[in-house]
Amino acid sequence: MRLGQRMKIADGVEMLEIEMDFMGNRSAIHPTLFYDDEHAVLVDVGMPGHWEDVRSAMARAGVPADRLDAVILTHQDIDHIGGIQDVLNAASRPIDVYAHAEDQPYIEGHRQPIKLSEERFAPVLAQLPEDARRKFLDLIAHPPSAKVTKVVHGGEVLPWFGGIEVIFTPGHTPGHISLYHIPSRTIIAGDATVSQGGKVLGPMPQATPDLPRALESLKQFSRYDVENLVCYHGGLCKERIREQLEALAGQAG
Ligand SMILES: [Zn+2]
């Protein structure tokens, strides 16, 4: 798949692929789009400045931005919520923002996002050219934020597109959620898992403050009949998903 493309997972479910350049490291991230002829819901919105790429990937799926009814944020990290204000501005009417109660204060700007600190990025910041460093320091000082209009706790089934269940999967952040789309048997894992060449891996340890809890959270995935697993970093996995998830959950204490 070429960067900037999209991948159809099932009718009305598309995995988008957006190129990310994070302090000189290039990779791809994968928001998910649910849609029908009248409604659309976007799961995670990319970095600040990504909105045009997200919007064109949506357009290629035939979904104009003003069809969006809601955005679901899997968690507070900058690569997931960065474009939120652009999305809200592009909508033709107020749209709902869904997130977990534990991450709500960070997303709303009442608390500094847990991984967005000068300290944490000090070694990288020191290597950046002056203008890039200033830009990043400005991002740390003024992180993107938005009001969470619908707070979730896990266990809810959102009655859209045949049913989307919210799974509370803390560890990577305190309020991380994953989603299960019932008709297509798809787990949208956010950063609860990452993938590499079809192999499912646990969350990135360096970006997961509570790794034991994150691994414990993965045990919940074995309750679901899973055909597709969408990792925000690494993309879609289809091969032996249940087996791979069970092996990962087995790493928890
Ligand atoms: Zn991420």
Per-residue pLDDT at 21: 83
Give me ligand 1 centre to Cα 63, in Å. Answer: 24
The C-alpha angle with vertex 34 and arms to 173 and 199, in degrees rounded to 5, equals 55
Give me ligand 1 centre to Cα 221, in Å. Answer: 19
Share of the chain above pLDDT 90, in %: 84
Each domain of the chain, given as residue ranges in start order, spans 6-249
Give me ligand 1 centre to Cα 80, in Å. Answer: 6
214 neighbors 190 (Cβ within 8 angstroms): no
Q: Does the pLDDT at position 4 exceed 60?
A: no
| Cα Rg, the chain, nearest whole Å | 17
- Reduce the DSSP state of residue 67 to 3 states and report it: helix
Confidence of residue 1 (pLDDT cuts 50, 70, 90): very low
Give me ligand 1 centre to Cα 157, in Å. Answer: 24
92 neighbors 56 (Cβ within 8 angstroms): no
pLDDT tens digit sequence for 111-142: 999 999 999 989 888 888 999 899 999 999 99
CA distance 105 to 109: 6
CA distance 113 to 173: 10
CA distance 42 to 80: 11
Give me ligand 1 centre to Cα 227, in Å. Answer: 22
Give me ligand 1 centre to Cα 101, in Å. Answer: 19
Per-residue pLDDT at 3: 54
Minimal CA–CA distance to 128: which of 27, 18, 22?
A: 22
Q: Please, is 99 exposed, middle or buried when counting C-beta atoms within 10 Å of its C-beta (0-12, 13-18, 19+)?
A: buried
Give me ligand 1 centre to Cα 233, in Å. Answer: 7
Q: Does the pLDDT at position 252 exceed 80?
A: no
Minimal CA–CA distance to 160: which of 30, 36, 59?
A: 36
CA distance 184 to 11: 8
CA distance 219 to 222: 6
Give me ligand 1 centre to Cα 76, in Å. Answer: 9
Give me ligand 1 centre to Cα 52, in Å. Answer: 19
pLDDT tens digit sequence for 213-249: 999 999 999 999 999 999 999 999 999 999 999 999 8
Question: What is the CATH class of 6-249?
Answer: alpha beta
C-alpha pair distances (Å), 35 with each of 9, 113, 179, 183: 12, 30, 15, 13
Give me ligand 1 centre to Cα 84, in Å. Answer: 15
- Average pLDDT for 52-81: 95
CA distance 3 to 28: 7
pLDDT tens digit sequence for 179-205: 999 999 999 999 999 999 889 999 999
Give me ligand 1 centre to Cα 232, in Å. Answer: 6
Give me ligand 1 centre to Cα 107, in Å. Answer: 14
Give me ligand 1 centre to Cα 203, in Å. Answer: 10
C-alpha pair distances (Å), 76 with each of 56, 70, 125, 168, 249: 24, 16, 21, 14, 24
Q: pTM for the full model?
A: 0.95
Give me ligand 1 centre to Cα 79, in Å. Answer: 5
- Reduce the DSSP state of residue 237 to 3 states and report it: strand
Give me ligand 1 centre to Cα 103, in Å. Answer: 14
pLDDT tens digit sequence for 94-114: 999 999 999 999 999 999 999
Within 13 Å and on the Cβ side, how many CA atoms surround 14? 22
Residue type, 191: D
Give me ligand 1 centre to Cα 146, in Å. Answer: 18
The C-alpha angle with vertex 133 and arms to 131 and 138, in degrees rounded to 5, equals 95
Give me ligand 1 centre to Cα 10, in Å. Answer: 23
